[in-house]
Structure 1
Amino acid sequence: MNPLHSLQPQAVWQWFADICAIPHPTYQEAALAEMIVARAKEKGLAVQQDEKGNIYIRKPAHGAGMADKPGVILQGHIDMVAQKTPDSPHNFATDPIRPQIIDGWVHATQTTLGADNGLGSAMGLAVAFADDIEHPPLEVLLTVEEEIGMDGARQMRGDLLQGRYLINLDTEAAGCVYVGCAGGRDADLRLPFATEAAEGQHVRITVSGLLGGHSGIDIHRGHGNAIKVLADLLARLPEESGWRLAAFHSGALRNVIPSEAEAEIVLPQAFAGALAELADTVRAETQNELGKFADKLVIQVAPLGQGAQAASHADSRRIIDLLAAVPSGVLKWSEEFDGVVDTSNCLSVVHTEDGQFTASMLLRSLRERPKDDFCRLLGSIARLSGATLHTEQDYTGWEPHMSSALLQKTIESFAAVRGQQPQIEVVHAGLECGLMQKHLPHTEMISFGPTIKGAHSPKERVQIDTVEECWRILLDLLKRIA
């Protein structure tokens, strides 16, 4: 029996179980979308998809006097981040997510859970499919490709929606209502290099055991960055060794802080001992700097044989100097919102392939100007190192509107259900509300959700009792909206 079937509210957890059963990483949402659309049609709901694959479900108002109230849009995204532990055999293209319950939390088994944002989608669907829930005219918008570039929201069709209010169900802290978010921009630094046969000891250096995490909401927590740790080690190799870089790989997704990295280098056998000592030194220093977040940090040096194709020492130094020069982490704290990061950058993905080194990052800011300023800095780093800068997937932040009628009703619902008012927050992460404002300029928006920890990592988990609380708040809010 699926352990989720024993949880309340049953309709929400049943939908989440059904979502977990169908693989749905970003770019592979089609099968899940097909199931949702088919079931909506069987239920007699009006449903359609746009060219991008976003799903639009419409349902008439239900309950006395509800038909005259303003329409509401419930919104989530159906793709998930695909991350697993190094020893997991899970295939995200074919295998279902396997949930398990541990001490009041739902986890997956060695993988991301997809509560971000499968649970938000499940709540919207549970309302749409229910026959006993009072609500005004209802629309459910389920977007695709949120986790990589928010392309679903970017290409949604506002003309298919009529609701005056939008409730985004994609935040991760119970007791909080989000009214604004950071915008973002993808940036790549690309540096060409030539390879040739290099003589000496061929070794692989692996950094593993860091916590990783979400590159927005976890960027200030001090989890460390495996790319930076490995680059620091390589930068400190003795210059006289003439070491040469054969490969460097880390990360897969821009919105995940890298927890592992590996490089292959060629260096004289006489320096093998110095490399091993340096690895121990960097590990100890990093653990001292990061404290408990680096308790499981491991830096391994493994011999691979003699000789390999590698970059020149000069090109190898340019690559590592570039990585050392790129800031990664919190760049500025907000002066308007206490404890909120204003601007950050996460150096997320690095790889070498076919004579080109690429460093990919995700820049976030509550404001537009800092994104432009930081990209000018990256341009300077690129020119100094001989690299080129490429930017794309720019999206604006979501500007708070504290006088929103929807926000006031949401505060009332939180107080009624929880006995206290919510914290009003701005989140340093990309919510689709920022992009959707362009398509729905006259729609008021808020966002809330259950408590989710470890999003975008195999440690992802959702606190069970906050799901029921979030559900009760949602149902109360649907009744209050006028």
Structure 2
Amino acid sequence: MEYVIKGYEPADALRYFEEISAIPRGSKNEQAVAQYVYDFAKDLGLEARIDTTYWNVVVKKPASPGCEDKPAVMIQGHLDMVCEKNAGTAHDFEKDPLDLYIEDGLLKARGTTLGADNGQAVAYMMALLARNDLVHPPLECVFTSMEEIGLLGALQVDTSDLHSKYMLNVDCGPEGTVFVSCAGGLLQDISKKVRWEKAGGDTVSLQVRGLLGGHSAAMIDHEMGNSIKVMGRILHGIQKQMEVHIVSLSGGSKMNAIPRESDAVITVPAGQGDKAIEIASHIAATAKAELAASDGGLYLQCEKAGATERQMSLADSRQIIEFIFLVKNGVYTMSMEMPGLVVCSSNLGVATTDDTGVQLTDFIRSSDPTIRDHLDDEIRSLAQLLDIEIAPADPMPGWKYEAESPLRQLFMKLYKEQTGKEMVAVATHGGLECGILKDKMPDLDIIAFGPTADGAHTPDESLDLASFERTWNLILATLKALAEQ
């Protein structure tokens, strides 16, 4: 093929990035790229296996001569990418290659996401597998799938034949940071089956608007307003002064996003509609004042609505309102070891209504499994008291910070030697595959890092090619040091 990326080092890793960019690889569409990586490894004569259900690929490469007795190193990243494009961009993510170009030293894709998240890791691993002039311990390269939709490949990857002592995850950045901890997750699917009855009284429509929202990992400690919780507060306030029947309730769209908007339609006793609107408006104004410094755009659209045919029973409505009002949301615990790090949080992210009743989605994040389980138990106990169901769920493990990490110390030392700068150790409240693999292989010493790449998950995504090269050199230096120590 004719390569767009020319004149940059390391040319081999960038060539592989360009080759995988020609293969559609959105989440749940990894079969072709997984087969490509597997065939690539087999053509090199390397030991490789492919999971034809989840499309994870594992490739093993023997140590360079004289390093056979050194502990193995796992290098890990995911095959899939987020598929987003600008309006008007004619691109089919199911069949079209990415249209790569370079601008001011940045690699980009015209009108679409670039897939540096996490094509950078795939390219690095392929270059390491292909090169025979490097000094390194035994390598175990793990290519996972469906990371972008819940770390699904990592949850299913078979590690029974892996023996690595160290793990390099190349799914983080920017350059100059090393990640040392991440949160796990627990998804709570919450439901309340209701009894419907003929509606009566005044109908009132409420719409919470103007909140900023944000990612429930990165923004959970920014005191952003949660529209579903605000709606619960409003309905609870009305309910304290009159009977409230829910007709419908909705809000949010993703478990991992703080909901910006929510809607409710309720009925109240005949002649009480204006009073309900007055109560709701007062509570919304109070909430807006409380959020003035962090999320001050909150406003409530509230008005009488036309008559509706059905409403939920009073008992069911009360239980739903009280659950939303009382359920924990936001930061639950903070770290004492790493100031500013959220250890555990909860985000009530989605609310919907159908013929059976109301469904809610809550997502707990935690790097500490005991705190996660305690919060889960709190929420489940509240649900049980209010006759609300929460489906059983398996947690996604987190990666708890460990003060002692020889790999991290070595990596930071090599970075300073390479750049003259101090590397910053960072813990994230977001989810990484590191937590899942640490759970499967508890003795792993893990670091997560990557080159500078901006705009992930958007058509503005870019990869800094100079940073890509420096990170490549740091990987080589780390492997060489591990082989020689």
Q: Secondary structure at the match of 1:227?
A: helix
Structure 2 CA distance for aligned equivalents of residues 462 and 22 of structure 1? 18
In the alignment, is the contact (CA less than 8 A) between 1:246 and 1:308 conserved in 2?
no
Q: Which moved more, 1:270-279 or 1:4-13?
A: 270-279
How much has 1:124 moved relative to structure 2? 2.3
Q: Secondary structure at the match of 1:358?
A: strand
In the alignment, is the contact (CA less than 8 A) between 1:208 and 1:226 conserved in 2?
no
Residue 373 of structure 1: aligned partner: 374
Structure 1 CA distance for aligned equivalents of residues 114 and 286 of structure 2? 32
How much has 1:355 moved relative to structure 2? 0.9
Residue 30 of structure 2: aligned partner: 29
Structure 2 CA distance for aligned equivalents of residues 149 and 440 of structure 1? 20
What CA deviation, in whole Å up to 9, does each residue of 1:122-159 have, x standing for no partner? Answer: 33233334465543332210122334553433332223
Q: Secondary structure at the match of 1:141?
A: strand
Structure 1 residues 390 and 109, CA gap change in structure 2 (3 angstroms)? farther
Residue 335 of structure 1: aligned partner: 336
In the alignment, is the contact (CA less than 8 A) between 2:211 and 2:295 conserved in 1?
no
1:265 matched to 2:265: yes
Structure 1 residues 120 and 326, CA gap change in structure 2 (3 angstroms)? farther
Residue 53 of structure 1: aligned partner: 55
- Larger radius of gyration, structure 1 or 2? 2
Structure 1 CA distance for aligned equivalents of residues 57 and 101 of structure 2? 29
Structure 1 residues 424 and 149, CA gap change in structure 2 (3 angstroms)? same
Q: Secondary structure at the match of 1:245?
A: strand
Q: Secondary structure at the match of 2:221?
A: coil
How much has 1:325 moved relative to structure 2? 1.7
Structure 1 residues 32 and 315, CA gap change in structure 2 (3 angstroms)? farther
How much has 1:259 moved relative to structure 2? 4.3
In the alignment, is the contact (CA less than 8 A) between 1:23 and 1:92 conserved in 2?
yes
In the alignment, is the contact (CA less than 8 A) between 1:247 and 1:310 conserved in 2?
no
Q: Secondary structure at the match of 1:429?
A: strand
1:40 matched to 2:41: yes
Structure 2 CA distance for aligned equivalents of residues 260 and 388 of structure 1? 25
How much has 1:168 moved relative to structure 2? 1.2
How much has 1:173 moved relative to structure 2? 4.0
What CA deviation, in whole Å up to 9, does each residue of 1:313-357 have, x standing for no partner? Answer: 553443233222222221111112222112211222332234132
The letter of the residue matching 1:393 is: D
1:448-459 paired onto structure 2 within 5 Å: 448-451=449-452, 458=458
Residue 195 of structure 1: aligned partner: 196
Q: Secondary structure at the match of 2:60?
A: strand
Q: Secondary structure at the match of 2:394?
A: strand
Q: Which moved more, 1:89-98 or 1:434-443?
A: 89-98
Structure 1 residues 115 and 226, CA gap change in structure 2 (3 angstroms)? farther
Residue 147 of structure 2: aligned partner: 146
The letter of the residue matching 1:57 is: V
How much has 1:451 moved relative to structure 2? 4.4
Q: Secondary structure at the match of 1:413?
A: helix
Identity %: 30
Structure 1 residues 278 and 401, CA gap change in structure 2 (3 angstroms)? closer
How much has 1:380 moved relative to structure 2? 2.7
Q: Secondary structure at the match of 1:163?
A: coil
Q: Which moved more, 1:264-273 or 1:468-477?
A: 264-273
Q: Secondary structure at the match of 1:477?
A: helix
Residue 228 of structure 2: aligned partner: 227
Structure 1 residues 22 and 309, CA gap change in structure 2 (3 angstroms)? farther
Structure 1 residues 346 and 301, CA gap change in structure 2 (3 angstroms)? same
Residue 120 of structure 1: aligned partner: 121
Structure 1 CA distance for aligned equivalents of residues 2 and 274 of structure 2? 52
In the alignment, is the contact (CA less than 8 A) between 2:284 and 2:299 conserved in 1?
no
Structure 1 residues 307 and 364, CA gap change in structure 2 (3 angstroms)? same
Q: Secondary structure at the match of 1:182?
A: strand
What CA deviation, in whole Å up to 9, does each residue of 1:143-190 have, x standing for no partner? Answer: 223345534333322233233321111223432222333333222322
Residue 162 of structure 1: aligned partner: 163
How does the TM-score come out when normalised to structure 2?
Answer: 0.79
How much has 1:381 moved relative to structure 2? 1.8
Structure 1 CA distance for aligned equivalents of residues 199 and 326 of structure 2? 27
Structure 1 residues 81 and 288, CA gap change in structure 2 (3 angstroms)? farther
1:419 matched to 2:435: no
How much has 1:14 moved relative to structure 2? 4.9
Structure 1 residues 81 and 290, CA gap change in structure 2 (3 angstroms)? farther
1:164-179 paired onto structure 2 within 5 Å: 164-179=165-180
1:440 matched to 2:444: no
How does the TM-score come out when normalised to structure 1?
Answer: 0.79
Q: Secondary structure at the match of 1:159?
A: coil
How many residues were matched structurally?
A: 476
Q: Which runs of 5+ in 1 are unaligned?
A: none
Structure 1 residues 281 and 249, CA gap change in structure 2 (3 angstroms)? closer
Structure 1 CA distance for aligned equivalents of residues 87 and 303 of structure 2? 17
Structure 1 CA distance for aligned equivalents of residues 309 and 470 of structure 2? 58
How much has 1:263 moved relative to structure 2? 3.0
